[in-house]
Amino acid sequence: MAGAHTLRETERHVDERLAGMDIDFQAMAVTSNLFRAASAVRNHLERSVLAAHDLSWSAFVVLWVVWIWEDIETREIAAEAGFSKATLTGVLNTLEKRGYSTRKRSKDDGRLVIVSMTAKGRKLMEQLFPLFNKQEQFVASALASKNQPIVADGLRKITELTEPAGEN
């Protein structure tokens, strides 16, 4: 369990504190459960898959994006992975130091940097991702199969609604 108290205890305290305050409890449940789930799943995946390879969460996300897109511009990686370009610089330094990826300047535009995967990086992902997906299956197994698309679509709609247009 998450907290030291049961759900029912928590509900009672919340109801007391918020009595007469016109609160949307259903919406509250959606967001609070969203954060708990994301945190729990991230920890689970880090421990069950990434820790053995000493990979941080963001390092794995970057590896994934580069693996899928191959020869991708760094600005695109930042957008896909969902964090700032400052953070990306550090992660790429680490990955490059370990020999998983390489950087080269774009010939068409001297400002851009293109990231590629090394054979070593590709090998890692070919080994790692199936294990990762096995754990994703475990996570999704908490849901009835018919509910999985409903949850996935709902989360995607939430993302689209709340995500600002221009990131970085």
DSSP 3-state of 142: coil
How is residue 81 written in tokens? 């992975």
Which CB sits closer to DNA, 57 or 138?
A: 57
- Among 92, 95, 117, 128, contact with DNA (rule: CB under 7 A): 92
| Residue 17 binds a second copy, judged by CB under 8 A | yes
- Among 49, 66, 78, 95, contact with DNA (rule: CB under 7 A): 78
The CB-of-35 to DNA minimum distance in angstroms stands at 11
Specify whether the CB–CB gap between 136 and 75 falls below 8 A.
Answer: no
DSSP 3-state of 143: coil
DSSP 3-state of 113: strand
Candidate segments 13-21, 25-33, 84-92, 126-134, binder of DNA by CB under 7 A: 84-92
Number of C-beta neighbours around residue 122 at 10 A: 17
Residue 58 interacts with which of a second copy, DNA, none, CB < 5 to 8 Å by class: DNA
Candidate segments 7-15, 107-115, 124-132, 155-163, binder of DNA by CB under 7 A: 107-115
Residue with tokens 């990131």: 167
Number of C-beta neighbours around residue 134 at 10 A: 11
Interacting residues with DNA (CB under 7 A): 56-59, 73-75, 78, 83-94, 103, 109-113, 168
